[in-house]
Amino acid sequence: MSQTEMNDPKIDEASQIGGMADAMMPVDALTLNLSDLLPDANGEIVILNEGDDPSLNIVTDLRLLESGIAESHVTDGGIDVKGLQYWVFEDGTKLYYSPGLSISVDHVIA
């Protein structure tokens, strides 16, 4: 069972509490487990979109600690993430994503 929960008021609105994020996500939203995404050597994951404004739901048991807009930075994989939005999870994983991508986070509750 999963439940969307708010971890920090500074975290992006897409991660809001109660089923609101689920209600806002289109029916055709893609769902991925954060653990299935392979970070680079620095713990960074980059998700880019091609402008069709897709929706993505990330499922994890990790809390979101930080969010923001990336400054000038090139990942270990050679991707310039300047201007991309990012989330930092409690294990140190940093997820960068395109501003046009709609992302929500579902937290697995045991």
Per-residue pLDDT of the chain (110 residues; tens, 9 = 90+): 333 333 333 344 334 333 334 445 455 678 999 999 999 999 999 998 876 667 889 999 999 999 999 999 999 999 999 999 999 999 999 999 998 888 888 877 66
CA–CA separation, 66 and 82 (whole Å): 17
Q: What is the pLDDT of residue 53?
A: 65
Which of 97, 95, 94 is CA-nearest to residue 83?
97
Angle at 39 between CA 33 and CA 41, to 5 degrees: 160
pTM of the predicted structure, to 2 decimals: 0.72
Q: What is the pLDDT of residue 59?
A: 94
Residue 35 φ then ψ, to 5°: -65, -20
